[in-house]
Amino acid sequence: MKSMQLVIVESPTKAKTIGKFLGSGFRVESSYGHIRDLPKSKLGIDVEHDFEPHYIVPVKARKNVTALKKLAAKADRIILATDEDREGEAIAWHLTQALLLGKSQITNSKSQIASDPSVERIVFHEITESAIRDALQHPREINMDLVDAQQARRILDRLVGYNLSPFLWKKIVRGLSAGRVQSAALRLIVTREEEIKSFVPEEYWTIHALFSAGKKKEDSFEAPLYSVDGTPVEKFTFKKEADVKRITEELEGSIFSVRHIEEKDMRRNPLPPFTTSTLQQEANRRLHMSAKQTMMFAQHLYEKGYITYMRTDSVHLSEQSLRAARNYIEAEFGKKYLTEKPVYYKTKSRLAQEAHEAIRPTDPLLTPHAIALDDLKEKKLYELIWRRFMASQLPPAVFALAGVFIESDNKKFVFKANGASMRFDGFLKVWPQTFEERTLPALQEGEKLDCKEVKPEQHFTEPPARYNEASLIKALETNGIGRPSTYAPIISVIQNRNYVQKNEDRRFVPTEIGFLVNKVLAEHFPEIVNLQFTARMEEDLDSVAEGKKDWRDVLGEFYKPFAEHLAAKYESVQKEKLAPQEETHEVCDKCGKPMVIKTGRFGRFLACSGFPECKNTKSLAPTGDKDLGPCPKCKEGKVIRRRTKKGRFFYGCSRYPECDFASWTKPQSGKSEIKNPKS
């Protein structure tokens, strides 16, 4: 009988790519993600017996598990080739349990790990033939520390969600839910919104002067006031108009000359190659991709063999990739773009393993124009990753800076004009950035200048900006909330729960329900939304992954005081009052009774006053939305932002169903309309 080696991975795409590299003696199959999980209908954790989890095989996975069991029974060697992170390690372990592999079925004990030599675990950081072949030569056992860290996170989140959500149902409104890291993320957004609401603008003034060194237009340049009587001018030096009026009058009668000219070079270094969080941030800034989209497309690129593993904290680069990059740079751009030696970057994350790599192309020769990708966004993301990697190995960009100090005849006032020009583009050759070139006329020290105009300008301080996806991910990372692989799910969850919405500028605004949920949690469960507490929990999970802490001890330290506190709050906390019902002039199109505005799980909405006999409801434009104008189709209704059943926002007519106008984009944008969005 012909021998068969069974390789199990998570996805069909990954299986297809790996299958191309292996011979006829291998069979590569997909588990289609997790094949075991906690049940949805109950807690599934025995808190009285050391938090023992009760895993089940979900209905959708049973057919595949049966098929894998049959294949495993026929295989001479079973190779678990799931991803190299905690999630992938847990999937590999669950496979041993569900498929009854090895000698330790259905157990959580570290001392009873499957030891059957026919079951092996391999890991790799890129899906290339050389990487797969090398991994097959160096199998290892399942790392139960990583498995336990994943189990602890899953159980911890289940304990919080399944215990705290019913509390919110009772004290606010049914259907709400609370999560450990999601609640901390919501706290960040609500706190920022409260800062914006309480912000009081401060007035300040600046003074600029327009100088000329000749009669030509290019001989004129502008310079801000730099110092007065030797004291540097700062942002709030001039707080009132009266502060600048006297100075302006003095300046208008002064004679100016060039006191000093400073010239120097400035070097701007390239950024390190991407980690998971920096990729999500940059894709959001440059490509307007959500974190969820970014990770989806990055997963596709990884599984197709185009990039290295996309969940990483490391900026380490392999020697092989550095050699390939340098060979490409020299051949494509010339020796002047070749650094003296490869550029190495130091990883800041404590847990990032140097054996892991940054996100990079598997082969620098696979330029964005050399690969065939049907999806435009996928192609753009690959180009971003390729350019960032190549830029990291290019020399710094060099700029020539000039500072011209211009002094009044009484030596009291000094202006400073800054000039800048690029001398060498360096890494900017492949990583374009906005650079404003400022050219100054040729000047000499002591040269007299003509002051054409003195321009005082009033300013007001701006409130802090609301978070967008990029800045929220950076804040989560800075505060130690979650880990790179969890940022996208965190952001998706708080939007799907309608705790936050994106405004017209793609920035997060808390909803009424979001404010209320945060208020209740902050007042009664401060540890859940406390950023430092959440960060400490992440550190504890990291310690489990390092084998320094037992996962059951970590859960016990958290759960006992949490459960006692929750029981006490059930008795002492009063139910929150939602916004009172508001009457409107609108009439129900089904029964003719007046419509009223109510507040529910998804915020404010129109409902028939004849409820429960008539259950007609309609969407309202979210609070704070800009006036979107009249409906372009019927001219009678107003364009409002509405939500589909799957939670996606679109623009529709307030007179629906009489008018069925609907569009994914604002009608003013001129983009095509689509009727009745479904997803």
Residue 237 CB neighbour total at 10 angstroms = 17
Residue 300 near residue 123 (C-beta atoms within 8 A): no
Helices in 525-588 by DSSP H: which ranges? 526-529, 531-545, 551-572
Structure tokens at 537: 């929990």
At 168, which amino acid appears? L
Instruction: Output the CA–CA distances (angstroms, integers) from residue 512 to 226, 266, 460, 489, 622, in the order listed.
Output: 47, 49, 29, 22, 10
What is the distance between the alpha carbons of residues 632 and 234, in angstroms, rounded to a whole number? 50
* 633 Cβ neighbours under 8 A, 6+ residues apart: 653, 659, 660, 661
Give the span between the Cα atoms of 461 and 467, in whole angstroms. 18
Rg of the chain taking only CA atoms, in angstroms: 31
**The pair of three-digit structure tokens given for residue 429, joined into one six-digit string:** 């050759």
What tokens appear for 409 in the block?
């005849």
E strand or H helix at 650: strand 649-653
Instruction: Kindly name the residue from 306, 309, 382, 651 that is annotated as catalytic.
Output: 309
State the burial class of residue 560 (Cβ atoms within 10 Å of its Cβ: 0-12, 13-18, 19+).
exposed
Tokens of 92: 């590999």
Sign of torsion over alpha carbons 630, 634, 639, 640? positive
Residue 309 annotated in active site: yes
Measured CA to CA, the distance from residue 315 to residue 484 in angstroms comes to 14
Nearest Cα to 406, choosing from 257, 615, 506? 257
Helix (H) or strand (E) holding 92: helix 86-98
Q: How far apart are CA 640 and CA 468, in angstroms?
A: 22
Sequence-distant (6+) residues with CB within 8 A of 188 are 467, 472, 475, 476, 479, 481, 531
154's enclosing H/E stretch is helix 144-171
| Residue 222, CA distances (Å) to 245, 360, 402 in order | 19, 44, 14
Residue 649, token pair as written in the block: 């926002």
Active-site residue numbers? Answer: 309
